[in-house]
Structure 1
Amino acid sequence: MTGVETRSVTRDSLFLLADLRIEQASEVHRVRVRNLSDGGMMAEGSLRVQRGHRVEVELRNIGVVPGSVAWVQDNRFGIAFDQEIESQDARRPLKTHDLAAATILKPMWTHRAPPPPEPGKLRKI
């Protein structure tokens, strides 16, 4: 690769998580967004996609954006959006109406030790 930038659209490098669904599939995959522009994005994830796959990406403050996979290399891939977006919106903090939904905590199913027993309730064996 040369050091000359040949792309006409500026990109923002960032680290953001997004949900991605491959068209015709019900499973949603969490991917890392490595860079984002108004016309597309580079994502990284363990899912297997192929060039030409139709996808929908849910981006923070933007919503669901349809597009297609433009290239794939190892666990990274590029997505060309069907319509341009305002990519700067994804960098902004969550909108106020989204804050209430963001503060809802999902239950953690990790093991927690029970509280210690009260000494007066212990039985002698």
Structure 2
Amino acid sequence: MAENEQDQSDRAGQRDSLLLMAHMTLDGETVPREVRVRNISEGGLMAELPVSAEIGSPVALELRGVGPISGRIAWCTQGRVGVAFDRQIDPKMVRKPVGGGASTPDYAKSATVPKTKPFGR
């Protein structure tokens, strides 16, 4: 296997496929837009983005469990965009459950199994 193929294989193995919503602010915008993140790694992510973005332009993201992170557009094609982060993150933090208190919406809380009584009692 060529060195370049090995690099691509290693990179692909480090991605974590998922589907979550995040907020992204493109260069020149003041209001963040909601995007679907399809995969994430320590160094970047791929998200669905219905507009084109210029490669190399700065972007600001708000990721659940990580908080604000800056990066640059690495590539853009047909409704998807790649972002290279300015610093590495722990992608496991994005998957970590958030909240569980009274102010957390039900859809964001961890699923629980209700306790039931045995039949006939």
Instruction: Tell me if 1:19 matches 2:23.
Output: yes
Q: Quick one: distance in 1 between partners of 2:47 and 2:102?
A: 27
Q: Distance in 1 between matches of 2:42 and 2:66?
A: 11
Structure 2 distance, partners of 1:48, 1:102, is 34
Aligned to 1:26, the other structure's residue is in SS state coil
Tell me the secondary structure at the aligned position of residue 29 of structure 2: coil
Structure 1 residue corresponding to 2:57, chosen from 33, 40, 53: 53
Listed as ranges, the matches of 1:60-75 within 5 Å are 60-75=64-79
For the pair shown, the structure with the greater C-alpha radius of gyration is 1
AA aligned opposite 1:102: T
- RMSD of equivalent CA atoms: 2.0
Q: Write the letter of the residue equivalent to 2:43.
A: G
Name the % identity: 35
Residue-pair matches, total: 99
Aligned with 1:39 (options 38, 43, 60): 43
- Flag structure 2 segments of 5+ consecutive residues without an equivalent: 107-121
Separation of aligned partners in 2, 1:22 and 1:102: 28
State the shift of 1:102 in Å: 3.2
TM-score after normalising by structure 1: 0.71
For 2:72, give the aligned amino acid. Answer: S
Q: Distance in 1 between matches of 2:102 and 2:69?
A: 23
Q: Distance in 1 between matches of 2:74 and 2:67?
A: 21
Task: Give distance in 2, aligned partners of 1:62 and 1:100.
Answer: 22
Q: Which of structure 1's runs of 4+ aligned residues deviate more than 3 A?
A: 99-104
